[in-house]
Chain A
Amino acid sequence: MPLARPLLGWLAFAVVMCLVPVFVSTGTVRILVFANFLAIFAMSWDVISGRTGYISFGHPFLIGIAGYTTAMLTYHLDTPLWLSIPAGVFATLVGGTLFLLPALRIRGTYFALVTLAFMELMYQLTQVIAPKVTGGTRGLSGIPTIVSGAIPNYYLTFGLVFAIGLGLWFVLRTRIGAALAALRMDEGAVAASGLSTIRLKLFAFMTSAAVAGIGGAFYVHYLGSIAPRGLFDINFLFTILVAALLGGSSTVAGPILGAYFLTFLLEYLRPYLPGPERYVIYGMIALVVYVLEPRGLHAILRTGARRLAPLLARRRIAP
Chain B
Amino acid sequence: MQLRTDRALAPLFAALAIGVAASLAHDARAVGDPVKVGFIGSFASDTGRSTLRGAEIAIEELNAAGGVLGGRMIELVSADTREDVTEGIKAYEYLNESENVDFIVSGSIDDVSLGWFPRMAEYRTPTLDTWTSYIGLIDMVGEEYEKYKMYFMNIACDYALGTLYVDFGKDVLGKQMGWKSTVILQEDTAFGGGVQEFIAEIMEAEAGIKVLDTIVYDTQTVDFAPIYNKAVALEPDFMYLISSVNSQVPSSQYVKLQVPVAMTGINVAALGLDFWNDTGGAGGGISTLSPIPAVGMELDDSSKVFAEKYRAKYGDERPVFPHFNGFNAYHGVKNAFAAAERAGGFAPLDDWVREMENTDVKLYKDGEFWHRYAYFKPGEIEPRTGREFVHNIKFDLTPPYDDGAPSMVVIQWYTDGTAKVVYPPKYASGEFSIPPWLQ
Which residues of A pack against B, CB within 8 Å? 1, 5-6, 8-10, 12-13, 15-17, 19-20, 23-31, 34, 124, 127-128, 131, 135-143, 145, 148-150, 169, 173-175, 177-178, 181, 223-225, 227, 229-231, 233, 235-236, 248, 250-251, 253, 256-257, 260, 264, 267-268, 270, 274-276, 278-279, 298, 301-302, 305-306, 309
Contacts and interface: CB of A to CB of B under 8 A. Distances in A.
- A-side interface mostly: helix
B381 interface: no
B93 interface: yes
A26 B190 contact: no
Given A138-B111, A169-B9, 6 more contacts: A25-B97, A138-B189, A230-B115, A268-B23, A274-B43, A276-B43
B399 interface: no
Contact of A136 (B23, B93, B189, B218): B189
A56 to B, nearest CB: 19
A9 B111 contact: no
B20 to A, nearest CB: 6
B115 A25 contact: no
Interface stretch (B84-92, B256-264, B279-287, B365-373): B84-92
Contacts of A139: 85, 111, 114-115
A16 B13 CA distance: 10
Nearest to A275: B43
A173 B7 CA distance: 10
B97 A29 contact: yes
A227 B118 contact: no
6 contacts: A13-B13, A13-B14, A23-B25, A27-B27, A141-B115, A173-B6
Interface in B373-394: none
Interface in B88-140: 89-90, 93-94, 97-99, 110-111, 114-115, 117-119, 122, 134, 136, 140
B233 interface: no
A27 B93 contact: yes
Contacts of B86: 34, 223, 230, 236
Nearest to B122: A148
Interface of B: 1-3, 5-18, 20-21, 23-25, 27-29, 43-44, 78-80, 82, 84-87, 89-90, 93-94, 97-99, 110-111, 114-115, 117-119, 122, 134, 136, 140, 188-191, 193, 218-219, 245
A280 B334 CA distance: 35
B13 A12 contact: yes
Nearest to B21: A16
B107 to A, nearest CB: 14
B21 A23 contact: yes
B134 A138 contact: yes
B117 A260 contact: no
A248 B4 CA distance: 13
A6 B9 CA distance: 5
A137 B191 CA distance: 8
A177 B27 contact: no
B189 A137 contact: yes
Contacts of A138: 110-111, 114, 134, 136, 189-191
A16 B18 contact: yes
B8 A302 contact: yes
A149 B97 CA distance: 10
A199 B325 CA distance: 57
Given A5-B10, A17-B20, A136-B193, A278 B3 contact: no
A227 B117 CA distance: 13
A16 B17 contact: yes
Nearest to B45: A276
Contact of A230 (B44, B79, B85, B118): B85
Nearest to B15: A301
Contact of A274 (B79, B93, B245): B79
A250 B24 CA distance: 28
A257 B16 contact: yes
B210 to A, nearest CB: 26
Contacts of B219: 137
A178 B1 contact: yes
Kindly list the 4 A-B residue pairs having the minimum CB-CB distance in the complex, ordered from nearest: A27-B98, A224-B118, A230-B85, A136-B190
